[in-house]
Amino acid sequence: MSPGPRGAGARGDDPKSFPVQRAESYGGVVLRDRGDELEVAMIRTRNLKDEPVWTLPKGMREEGETGEDAARREVREETGLDAEIVQPLEPITYWFVSTKDKARFRKTVYLYLMRETGGDISRHDNEVDEVRFVPIADAPKLATYTTDRKTLRAVADAPP
């Protein structure tokens, strides 16, 4: 017996049929100078599949915030650190599918190169499992996502 024709319900569950939405995030590559080397703040959190990932702190802009304000706030919330913006970095754009939202997202992440000015990594929020400072040369090896690795390599090759 062969399967019958696919109904509308089957198509509705196919990610290729999901509508495209746009999303933006703002965050930072937070550096601290340890004299002989630069270190970058990395966070361990969980992806949409609840798997652990090492990435850079970032999140959504709130009503009335500028991109820079959102980046500083997200860094503070996710790392416990205060940081000043040194310069904008090349934005990252990627696609992902959310079966929960039944949408395909084209996401752009606006990152800023930042310098740590204070704070305490033990004061990160509950969305983050761990915050760690990593030598900038080692950070691309720890990063889960290709886009983060590319950004970290660019910063390592041309530090401020």
Residue-level pLDDT at 23: 86
Question: What sign does the CA torsion over 66, 68, 73, 78 have?
Answer: positive
Q: Are 77 and 125 in contact (CB under 8 A)?
A: yes
Q: Helix, strand, or coil here: 90?
A: coil
Q: What is the DSSP letter of 138?
A: T
Residue-level pLDDT at 9: 45
Domains and CATH numbers, the chain: 26-157 (3.90.79.10)
Written as six digits, the tokens of 73 are 């706030």
Task: Give the global pTM.
Answer: 0.84
Per-residue pLDDT in tens (0 to 9) along the chain, 160 residues = 444 444 444 456 777 888 888 889 999 999 999 888 899 999 999 987 899 999 999 999 999 999 999 999 999 999 999 999 999 999 999 888 877 778 888 899 999 999 999 999 999 999 999 999 999 999 999 999 999 999 999 999 886 6
Q: Which residue do the tokens 């959310």 mark? A: 98
Residue-level pLDDT at 7: 41
Parallel, antiparallel, or unpaired for β 20-33 and 103-119? Answer: parallel
